[in-house]
Structure 1
Amino acid sequence: MTAVDPSVTGKGVPVTRRGRRRGETTVAVVARLAGVSAPTVSKVLNGHPGVAAETRQRVEQVLREQDYRRPDAVTQAPMLEVAFQALESHLAIEIMRGVAQVANARQLAVGFTETASGPGWLDHVLRRRPVAVIAVYGAAMRREHARLAASGIPLVALDPTGEPVHSVPSVGAANWNGGLTATRHLLELGHRRIAMIGGPPGFLAARARLDGYRAAMDAAGAEVDPSLLRSGTLSYEDGLRHGRALLALPTPPTAVFCCNDLLALGVYEAARRAGRRIPDDLSVVGFDDLEFARWSGPALTTVRQPLADMGAAAADLALTLATGTAPPRLRLELATTLIARASTAPPR
């Protein structure tokens, strides 16, 4: 991999160099200044466990103050790390596309890791010494943020599932407005008995979409029947399960707003098994606008999240933080858009 001069990127990100010039700091010097052994310094440098948090912070502080550079490291471009809960997520590809677009323009490498692999994922990330980390759909990550901050590595949360650490900047979509727009679309078609299949109650985006649904129903004077509100794991299987239960009600819904496109596909299958036609007997709206939404039969009406733009915005924010510049605000929300296709129609 080719080295990149910080002046080329314009962001001042450090580049590891081969060899050591006279007068440069050694592991022994760092150990002496930090009051620890050389093996302890090596553990910190390589992200290994077994070092007390206070000791790790002291060593990392000395490393920064002395501008330590590894003597044996191969020349490499600075790296931007993206941490996903699961890389096989249907959303991951679009997010990666946006991150890669920004990284390529700045001549940065991009690394990917899975947080679901276990608590050791951060040790591997610290070993790679990225210029910044983007955590996608992560929880609060207080402990991880503290360790990254101690290493001088900024963290950005992309659509966090839980309430993010107050000092961690985040990027997300306008989920409340998306829920409002989806439900308003169904109301304008004439539906009043509108079900919603949401996500886990602790998932911030799912809560915001549900609140948007409730706001639209309230504004239209439409009653929210508690039996029409379901929550699940944002999976096809839960869409099928809840869809079958909703269609088996004595007075089933005429429309269903799903918290994501996978749930909507599950409802499609539930309708097929119940002998209901979409949109003649049941209107369905999803959320995300993943690539398969337009290929569904019929093509799915859904709320588009600008996933690639969210990835790019998170990368821009992370690299701004890497230069020591404070962001203008801690939360950035990108607009969502209703994409009306063939799965919605007026009720019969």
Structure 2
Amino acid sequence: MIEEGQGRHSRKPWRGDLTIATIAELAGVSPPTVSKVLNGRGGVGEQTRQRVEALLRDHGYRRRQTGGATLCIEVVFHQMLPSIAMEILRGVQEVAGTRDCTVGFTDVRQGILAGRPWVEPLLLRQPTAVITAFSLVTADHGRRLAAAGIPLVAIDPTGDLSPTPAVGANNWSGALAATRHLLDLGHRRIGVITGPVDDLTARARLDGFRAALDYAEVPLDEALERRGVFSFDDGRELGAQLLAQAVPPTAVVCGNDLQALGVYAAARASRLRIPEDLSVVGFDDIDQAAWLTPPLTTVRQPFGEIGATAARLALALADGGRMDQERYELGTTLVVRGSTAPPATR
């Protein structure tokens, strides 16, 4: 996935080996100012901070590990289901354990609601690497951490964070498989509920859905498409809109399992049976998917493997390795359960 860093004997001495004092001289500031930037402290003008960060990035600054220092990966979450978060952490821990590396995690939801920044506390704690698993991370966050010598790896970001590496599932092929499953059962009027239009994950799943219809030469009916957020409430509301049509869909592909749970509720309110009257497919395979009545057919994301891949990338980058690509996509699995069946004869 990445290339090993060059040995010290062959690397140019200025690349990654500059001291804080040298960076300060190049930036025309004092060493304490550079230290403040590295550690996310205040008291530095915005233009000065950006100039120092640019020098740190351009010269490949890496924070030196002191003797006996413990490696630490910090995983940052925001509004993620506990079951998914635990699977990601399990994967991170499996890799970190082989390096005697500790794993910490932070849920930044309360801080963000209160308007507090989330990067500055990380700069103060100075972890070896950071893995983010939430949608609010930006390319600027990656640049700020990189300037402090802290590599960032993002799990399924909603936008382009280049050059920050991203790890996720192959959303397009997962949605393609889900839709083909319904087509193979005989469904032709298939609704879809997806996420925000500017979310890369949501767009990939919608594109996979559309591609499956195109391959099967089934005309796309935009009246059967709904876009919202990945939540139970939107699944219920948008599912109710689809089911209220004069000719409702016989099946619905959902952007995630929470939306699918909402469609279950909408179907009950419309006195429709699953799967006799309506087939439903989710995405993620959260724990609750197997507990529903009937159990939910869904696309399983390998969250543990995603966490492990992110950890391998983070530690390799901390060691001075280089990426050979910016996005790493892992395969998904269609899990067929009781929520899908051939359409009823009408």
Q: Same fold (TM over 0.5)?
A: yes
Q: Decide whether aligned partners of structure 1 residues 200 and 30 sit closer, same or farther in structure 2, where only a CA change above 3 A counts.
A: closer
**Kept after mapping to 2: 8 A contact 1:191/1:347:** yes
2:102 corresponding residue in structure 1: 109
Q: Decide whether aligned partners of structure 1 residues 344 and 29 sit closer, same or farther in structure 2, where only a CA change above 3 A counts.
A: closer
1:171 corresponding residue in structure 2: 167
Q: Decide whether aligned partners of structure 1 residues 327 and 60 sit closer, same or farther in structure 2, where only a CA change above 3 A counts.
A: closer
Q: Decide whether aligned partners of structure 1 residues 159 and 30 sit closer, same or farther in structure 2, where only a CA change above 3 A counts.
A: closer
**Kept after mapping to 1: 8 A contact 2:79/2:134:** no
Structure 1 length-normalised TM: 0.83
Whole-angstrom distance in 2 between the partners of 1:338 and 1:67: 43
**Kept after mapping to 2: 8 A contact 1:84/1:138:** no
1:126 corresponding residue in structure 2: 123
**Kept after mapping to 2: 8 A contact 1:113/1:121:** no
1:49 corresponding residue in structure 2: 42
Whole-angstrom distance in 2 between the partners of 1:33 and 1:263: 53
Q: Decide whether aligned partners of structure 1 residues 276 and 139 sit closer, same or farther in structure 2, where only a CA change above 3 A counts.
A: same
SS in structure 2 opposite 1:153? coil
Q: Decide whether aligned partners of structure 1 residues 87 and 173 sit closer, same or farther in structure 2, where only a CA change above 3 A counts.
A: closer
2:16 corresponding residue in structure 1: none
**Kept after mapping to 2: 8 A contact 1:293/1:300:** yes
**Kept after mapping to 2: 8 A contact 1:114/1:121:** no
Q: Decide whether aligned partners of structure 1 residues 68 and 330 sit closer, same or farther in structure 2, where only a CA change above 3 A counts.
A: closer
1:160 corresponding residue in structure 2: 157
Structure 1 residues without counterparts, runs of 5 or longer: 1-10, 12-25
> Which gives a bigger RCO, structure 1 or 2 (Cα 8 Å, sep 6+)?
2
**Kept after mapping to 2: 8 A contact 1:139/1:164:** no
Alignment of 1:151-230 (within 5 A): 151-165=148-162, 167-230=163-226
Whole-angstrom distance in 1 between the partners of 2:224 and 2:156: 27
2:12 corresponding residue in structure 1: none
Whole-angstrom distance in 1 between the partners of 2:22 and 2:298: 59
1:81 aligns with 2:78: no
1:100 aligns with 2:93: yes
Give identity over the alignment, percent.
52
Structure 2 residues without counterparts, runs of 5 or longer: 6-18
Whole-angstrom distance in 2 between the partners of 1:225 and 1:197: 13
Whole-angstrom distance in 2 between the partners of 1:320 and 1:66: 13
Alpha-carbon deviation of 1:37?
Answer: 5.3
**Kept after mapping to 2: 8 A contact 1:139/1:163:** no
Whole-angstrom distance in 2 between the partners of 1:155 and 1:65: 14
Structure 2 length-normalised TM: 0.83
Whole-angstrom distance in 2 between the partners of 1:56 and 1:111: 28
Whole-angstrom distance in 2 between the partners of 1:66 and 1:332: 24
What is the count of residue pairs matched by the alignment?
320
Amino acid at match of 1:94: E
Q: Decide whether aligned partners of structure 1 residues 192 and 231 sit closer, same or farther in structure 2, where only a CA change above 3 A counts.
A: same
1:276 aligns with 2:298: no
Q: 146-155 vs 87-96, which deviates more?
A: 87-96
1:259 aligns with 2:258: no
What's the RMSD between the two structures over aligned residues?
3.0
SS in structure 1 opposite 2:73? strand
Q: Decide whether aligned partners of structure 1 residues 42 and 294 sit closer, same or farther in structure 2, where only a CA change above 3 A counts.
A: same
Q: Decide whether aligned partners of structure 1 residues 264 and 334 sit closer, same or farther in structure 2, where only a CA change above 3 A counts.
A: same
* Shift >6 Å, 4+ stretches: 26-35, 58-61, 64-70
Whole-angstrom distance in 1 between the partners of 2:137 and 2:64: 31
